[in-house]
Amino acid sequence: MVDAGSTDRNVLDLRHERAQIESASDAILGAAERYGYSKASRFAIRLAFEEAVTNAFHHGHCEIPDTPIRVEYVVSPEEIWIAVEDQGVGFEPDSVPDPTLDENLSLPSGRGLMLIRTYMSEVVYNERGNRLEMTYRMPGT
């Protein structure tokens, strides 16, 4: 986990509304900027966050669209930890087809999880598959 000596942290329940999602994203990225994360790092974090939130609503809450998801984050000088949890039935992350295979390239969906795994230092799902914890480590640490 992270050093609690110098951190920004919060727990949020987000509805599927653009303003709420952007507010959460802005809070995380604002903290990241204050702690010295580069533009490239903030791009990565923002992309992974947006993909995780989209997946939670689109897949996790497709049957319960008015239900909020829970987002937790801790931003420190060493790393940024974000958890996104939905109330859906979950899924098996390893069952998602590889979108970079030739036969999948022209499919319009299925790239979100791959992008999260590429841009974040660590990505962990709980056993049910409805809670994602991802960590971005400050480069060089």
Question: Given candidates 13, 118, 124, 126, which one binds other proteins under the rule CB under 8 A?
Answer: 118
Q: If binding is defined by CB under 8 A, does position 58 make contact with other proteins?
A: yes
Using CB under 8 A as the binding rule, the residues of this chain from 4 to 43 that contact other proteins are 18, 21, 40, 43
Smallest distance from other proteins to CB 5, Å: 31
Nearer to other proteins, 2 or 114 (CB): 114
Amino acid occupying residue 79 = E
Contact with other proteins (CB under 8 A): which of 77, 99, 125, 138? 99
Greatest extent of the chain over all pairs of C-alpha atoms, in Å: 48
Contact predicate 56/134, CB 8 Å:
no
- The residues, ordered by sequence, that sit 6+ positions from 77 with a Cβ below 8 Å of its Cβ are 6, 35, 36, 138
Rank residues 65 and 128 by Cβ distance to other proteins and give the closer one: 65
- Residue from 8, 33, 50, 133 touching other proteins (CB under 8 A): that is 50
In angstroms, rounded to a whole number, what is the distance separating the alpha carbons of residues 119 and 7? 22
Q: Figure out which of the listed residues 54, 67, 87, 121 binds other proteins, where binding follows CB under 8 A.
A: 54
